[in-house]
Amino acid sequence: MQIIDWLLLIILAICFITDVRERKIYNKILLPALLLAIIWNIVTEGLSGFGSSMLGMTAGFLLLLIPYLMKGMGAGDVKLLAVIGAMKGASFVLLTGVYMAIIGAGIAVILIAWRLLRSRQLLTLFYRNSLMNFRMKLELIRSYSSNKAFPYGVAIAFGAVVTLLTNGVISL
């Protein structure tokens, strides 16, 4: 593992913790990490390293820009993915985006099911002879999912770790 990989793991751990505890991913963590990523890539790869950092940062930023503009994502999540891209490049951040989306969807399904179960609505939702029509069931699911977001930095962090694992950077 290179120094940049260790730095990435440290940044992910810090952002994971602050996002879970405070629902915040702090600029005071992301900005120095971004600068270190760009400097690292310039020092190790020269001008092509700078280009790789810029392309990765742009790819990471653009991946979450539309969800952010639709108020489905926080600015810290967008910036965290941009920093990951600056550290590891465009192909890494795009693969991270795929894993992040899968993990985020899994977390969302589990949270919705948990909230429905806690409210004793889950059995009503899936009971075969329920008199509820499909539209009413969708509205019930929507009411338990849309008003209670979860810290998406968790999905981003796990997505990046899975990408590190699949790229052979870290092993279990």
pLDDT at site 167: 86
pLDDT at 8 > cutoff 60 = yes
pLDDT at 15 > cutoff 60 = yes
Domain holding 123, by residue range, is 3-166
For residue 156, tell me if it sits in a domain: yes
For residue 79, tell me if it sits in a domain: yes
Average pLDDT over residues 101-114: 86
pLDDT at site 139: 64
| 124 vs 5 pLDDT, higher one | 5
Q: Distance (Å, rounded) from C-alpha 18 to C-alpha 2?
A: 25
pLDDT at site 169: 76
For residue 34, tell me if it sits in a domain: yes
- Mean pLDDT over the full length of the chain: 86
The sign of the CA dihedral 157, 162, 163, 167 is positive
pLDDT at site 109: 84
Cβ atoms of residues 9 and 88 within 8 Å: no
For residue 127, tell me if it sits in a domain: yes
Please tell me the pTM assigned to this model: 0.83
Residue pLDDT, tens place only, 64-95: 999 999 988 899 999 999 999 999 999 999 99
Q: Number of structural domains, the chain?
A: 1
Residue pLDDT, tens place only, 22-38: 999 999 999 999 999 99
pLDDT at 41 > cutoff 90 = yes
For residue 44, tell me if it sits in a domain: yes
Cβ atoms of residues 64 and 81 within 8 Å: yes
For residue 172, tell me if it sits in a domain: no
Is residue 79 classed as helix, strand or coil in its secondary structure?
A: helix
For residue 151, tell me if it sits in a domain: yes
Q: Distance (Å, rounded) from C-alpha 12 to C-alpha 109?
A: 23
For residue 171, tell me if it sits in a domain: no
pLDDT at 55 > cutoff 90 = yes
pLDDT at site 77: 95
